[in-house]
Amino acid sequence: MNARNRFLLAIVVLALLMTGPFWLTAAVLFGDLRPEEKAILSEVLLPRLPIGAFITAIGFLIGVGVLRNLFRQYVQGLLGMAEKLRLMHSANRSFRVEMAGPPEVRQLADAANQLAQQRDDLLTDVDAKIAQARASVEEEKNRLAALVADLPQPVIVCNLDGRILLYNNRARLQARALVPDVHASSALIGLGRSIHSVFEPSLISHALETLQHRLDREGSQPVAHFVTTTRAGQLIRVQMVPVLAVTADTERSIGGYVLTLENISRYVEADAACDHSVQKLANESRSALAGIRRALAGLDADSPAAAKIAQEVALLTTRVDEAANEYAESVKARWPLEEMLGTDLMSAIQRRIEIKTRLTAKVDTVPADLWVKVDSYSLVQAMVFLATRLADDYDVRLIRLSMANIGAMVAVDMRWTGTSISTELLIGWQLEPMNLGGEASPLTLRDVTDRHGGELTCGRESAAQQSRFRLLIPVAIGVEASEVPLVQVESRPEFYDFDLFSRRDESHALDERPLRELAYTAFDTETTGLDPSNGDEIIQIGAVRILNGRLLRHECIDQLIDPQRSIKPEGIPIHGITPDMVVGRPTIATVLPQFHRFCEETVLLAHNAAFDMRFLELKEAATGIRFTQPLLDTLLLSTVIHPNQEAHTLEAIAERLGIPIIGRHNALGDAIVTGEVFLRMIPLLEAMGLNTLRQVREAAEATYYARIKY
């Protein structure tokens, strides 16, 4: 019901309230009177009825006027305020409700305006923080782009769809080598363009499969290499590394990739020219030596001179052959091949065959520790080509793959049940371009075998009644995946901090610097006992850096120390350090200078720092090392923040601040907890008006615990 109808309804109700009681009273009275009483009452009232009606009408009109005024002020006024609030909420943030109407409505309007102002202040603050964050991200991105731009290698960053997100000037210049037409090269590399216009999609897909397969293997290095030829005939070596995406289930997945390019054409051409010269020299030398041998045949074989010449010629021939063979081996080693685990290669071959053909591929035996040196893309392409010919020409439906080490080579076998392939037919296949599913390749099987310095043969195994292709490829002395572990951490290591670019020379006193701007070294020690003045020594130092409000867990020290004295038995169950663990470790004279350099230009941070500092002070005379940096103690800071709490142990403080404790009574573990505690304390100190180092130190020094001495 709209406001007008409600107003009309209110008028009707007012009319009924004003006239209804009169008519109801008259009806009750007339119904109870005798006829003669009714006649007398009619004679009295009827002449005066117009006056009563007039007075009632006047009262009704006055009531309508009052009702209309109240309705306009409270109903229509509130409806108008609602419209203005919606306007203020959406279209015009700066609009404010007019202070009009009765006092109650004006109070409501004032409260609404105050809430709107608070909302605007919050939104302005949020917008400012968003703008600041965007500016910081943009600045960081620009710095990254500047760093990439200065790299000597071409670098291209792409998303999973192959769209180019970032590239440097070297990559743009490298594009000129990718196509024959120099004017068309600018269309290849550009933001938002597809990398598939530069490299074949199948090549990128194969490299991504290799990366994902290595990510799935614990400890494998997620990097892929391939070498390809461009439309301009250039040879490009490409390295691909993944950009890992963050997922809720903590599994590593690829969100994009980074390509680094290297044009190796000139190196290969130089090598080819060198190969030609060496081969020419070898052939000419052999020809000359053959001519000398023919000339010797006409001389007296029994003469000492002829025998000597024949001996030298034979020796020279042997040396030429050996040098030619050694050079041939070095040529094979120069090809840009990649070392990879044999199981990875066979898995890639199996997946690609089943994707590209109607065949079912089964992998039989592959030694777990066998490494090969291959161009994985061209080799997989060659095996898929062979499988395709078997499926199309001989209706083979199942093939079995295996790999075995044969001396300096590795045999990759493809077996099937059915007709064997003749050597003549295989030679014909080796000279054909490998076209797979409409994807043209400039390479042939012969190119692949030559590139690997290998050999492709065919045959039949009578015992198993199976035919076979055998491809020989080079073996590689690989490194087990378990020996090359990736850094496994709970969170992203902080190996950089772009905010350091904005740091100024810290020549002025640190005391006036805000807490958030300072660098800290949180540290802890474990000792042989609790009495430094009576000969107890440090047996472990742990330290970690704090910079720009972040705990840099991977910039740390965790060092056991030989105290050159016994460890008190009562302390061993607490810190877990036994005498045999410290024997042969560096002494404090060696470790303390390293720790001092680690702490340079930082504020020292410890829990119950007086205890740790007493051990360090007692070593000043022997080592000449003095720690003059400012010092903060989380025990004292806890008494400043929570003066009414009874417990100020590191465990109690961490529990109050919601920090999990890991590795308690281990020096590095306690240092990390101390650093986390301090980071949680900073906003609490700022809320108390303690913003600078000087203010915090003065507040801490005024506490009771600051008087404790060791």
At 302-359, the pLDDT tens digits run 677 777 777 777 888 888 777 766 665 555 455 557 767 788 788 888 888 888 888 8
Does 501 map to a domain?
no
CA angle 332, 334, 337 (to 5 degrees): 85
More confident residue, 589 or 39: 589
Read off the amino acid at residue 495.
Answer: F
Does 541 map to a domain?
yes
Contacts of 442 (CB under 8 A, 6+ apart): 229, 433
SS3 318: helix
Question: One of 196, 596, 642, 665 is an active-site residue; which one?
Answer: 665
The mean pLDDT value of the chain amounts to 79
pLDDT at res. 269: 58
Bridge partners for 605 per DSSP? 522, 632
Task: Over range 266-282, report the average pLDDT.
Answer: 64
Show which of 71, 89, 107 is a domain's final residue: 89
| Distance separating alpha carbons of residues 696 and 636, to the nearest angstrom | 10
Q: Are strands 550-560 and 538-547 parallel, antiparallel or unpaired?
A: antiparallel
At 281-296, the pLDDT tens digits run 777 777 777 777 777 7
Show which of 280, 303, 334 is a domain's final residue: 334
**Are 235 and 273 contained in the same domain?**
no
pLDDT at res. 287: 76
| Distance separating alpha carbons of residues 638 and 642, to the nearest angstrom | 6
pLDDT at 89 over 50: yes
At 372-389, the pLDDT tens digits run 878 777 888 889 899 998
Does 323 map to a domain?
yes
Does 490 map to a domain?
no
Q: Residue 179: pLDDT band by 50, 70, 90 thresholds?
A: low
Cα–Cα distances (Å) from 273 to 286, 321, 450, in that order, read 20, 20, 17
**Are 349 and 327 contained in the same domain?**
no
Given a contact cutoff of 8 angstroms between Cβ atoms, the answer to whether 522 and 679 are in contact is no
Does 99 map to a domain?
no
Given a contact cutoff of 8 angstroms between Cβ atoms, the answer to whether 238 and 338 are in contact is no
The domain spanning residue 559 has which CATH number?
A: 3.30.420.10
More confident residue, 29 or 156: 156
At 188-205, the pLDDT tens digits run 677 777 888 777 787 788
**Are 282 and 173 contained in the same domain?**
no
Given a contact cutoff of 8 angstroms between Cβ atoms, the answer to whether 254 and 215 are in contact is yes
pLDDT at res. 677: 93
Alpha helix positions (H), 150-200: 169-174
Sign of the Cα torsion 196, 375, 380, 224 reads negative
The domain spanning residue 373 has which CATH number?
A: 3.30.565.10
* Active-site annotation holds for 665: yes
At 414-458, the pLDDT tens digits run 999 988 888 888 888 888 878 766 665 667 888 888 878 788 999
pLDDT at res. 308: 75
**Are 532 and 641 contained in the same domain?**
yes
Rg (CA), the chain: 45
Task: Over range 501-511, report the average pLDDT.
Answer: 47
Residue 107, both tokens: 């109070």
pLDDT at res. 477: 52
Residue whose entry in the numeric block shows the structure tokens 């777990």: 368
pLDDT at res. 482: 34
Q: Kindly list the strands in the beta sheet with 253-263, ordered across the sheet, starting from the edge strand earlier in the chain.
A: 164-167, 155-159, 253-263, 235-245, 224-229
More confident residue, 636 or 184: 636
Q: Residue 265: pLDDT band by 50, 70, 90 thresholds?
A: low
pLDDT at 613 over 60: yes
Task: Over range 650-666, report the average pLDDT.
Answer: 79
**Are 233 and 311 contained in the same domain?**
no
**Are 478 and 517 contained in the same domain?**
no
**Are 296 and 197 contained in the same domain?**
no
At 667-692, the pLDDT tens digits run 899 999 999 999 999 999 998 899 99
Show which of 305, 334, 363 is a domain's final residue: 334
Please tell me the total count of domains within the chain: 5
pLDDT at 480 over 50: no
Task: Over range 682-709, report the average pLDDT.
Answer: 83
pLDDT at res. 177: 62
pLDDT at 66 over 90: no
Task: List own/partner pairs for 345-349 with CB under 8 A and 24 or more apart.
Answer: 345/372, 345/374, 345/376, 345/379, 345/380, 345/403, 345/412, 346/401, 346/403, 346/412, 347/213, 348/206, 348/209, 348/210, 348/213, 348/376, 348/380, 349/379, 349/380, 349/383, 349/384, 349/401, 349/412
SS3 190: coil
Q: What are phi and psi of 403, to 5 degrees?
A: -145, 140
pLDDT at 646 over 90: no
Within 10 angstroms of residue 535's Cβ, the number of other Cβ atoms is 11
Given a contact cutoff of 8 angstroms between Cβ atoms, the answer to whether 406 and 472 are in contact is yes
Given a contact cutoff of 8 angstroms between Cβ atoms, the answer to whether 478 and 214 are in contact is no
More confident residue, 667 or 501: 667
The domain spanning residue 193 has which CATH number?
A: 3.30.450.20
Q: Residue 34: pLDDT band by 50, 70, 90 thresholds?
A: confident
| Distance separating alpha carbons of residues 71 and 69, to the nearest angstrom | 5
Cα–Cα distances (Å) from 417 to 356, 385, 397, 423, in that order, read 20, 18, 9, 18
More confident residue, 124 or 588: 588
**Are 567 and 658 contained in the same domain?**
yes
**Are 43 and 73 contained in the same domain?**
yes
Q: Are strands 155-159 and 253-263 parallel, antiparallel or unpaired?
A: antiparallel
At 92-124, the pLDDT tens digits run 667 777 777 788 878 888 888 888 888 888 888
Q: Residue 497: pLDDT band by 50, 70, 90 thresholds?
A: very low
pLDDT at res. 673: 93
Contacts of 404 (CB under 8 A, 6+ apart): 365, 367, 410, 411, 413
pLDDT at res. 416: 92
**Are 576 and 680 contained in the same domain?**
yes
pLDDT at 542 over 60: yes
| Segments forming the whole domain that contains residue 383 | 338-482
Q: Are strands 155-159 and 164-167 parallel, antiparallel or unpaired?
A: antiparallel
**Are 664 and 549 contained in the same domain?**
yes
Q: What are phi and psi of 314, to 5 degrees?
A: -60, -40
Task: Over range 642-663, report the average pLDDT.
Answer: 81
Does 505 map to a domain?
no
**Chain-centre distance for alpha carbon 677:** 26
Given a contact cutoff of 8 angstroms between Cβ atoms, the answer to whether 511 and 692 are in contact is yes
Given a contact cutoff of 8 angstroms between Cβ atoms, the answer to whether 45 and 26 are in contact is no
SS3 295: helix
pLDDT at res. 220: 57
pLDDT at res. 674: 94
Given a contact cutoff of 8 angstroms between Cβ atoms, the answer to whether 544 and 668 are in contact is yes
User: With helix as H, strand as E and coil as C, how does 407-462 read?
Assistant: CCEEEEEEEECCCCCCHHHHHHHHCCECCECCECCCCEHHHHHHHHCCEEEEEEEC
Residue 499, both tokens: 């905010």
pLDDT at 485 over 70: no
Range ranked top by mean pLDDT from 72-86, 507-521, 533-547: 533-547
Instruction: Please count the CA atoms within 13 angstroms of the CA of 232 that sit on its side-chain side.
Output: 17
Does 98 map to a domain?
no
Read off the amino acid at residue 10.
Answer: A
Task: Over range 58-85, report the average pLDDT.
Answer: 78
pLDDT at res. 183: 47
The DSSP annotation for 465-482 comes to TEEEEEEEEEEE----GG
**Are 421 and 379 contained in the same domain?**
yes
Read off the amino acid at residue 193.
Answer: R
pLDDT at res. 91: 60
pLDDT at res. 514: 92
Given a contact cutoff of 8 angstroms between Cβ atoms, the answer to whether 498 and 139 are in contact is yes
> Could you give the dihedral angle defined by the CA atoms of residues 651, 657, 658 and 662, in that order, rounded to the nearest 10 degrees?
-40
Does 103 map to a domain?
no
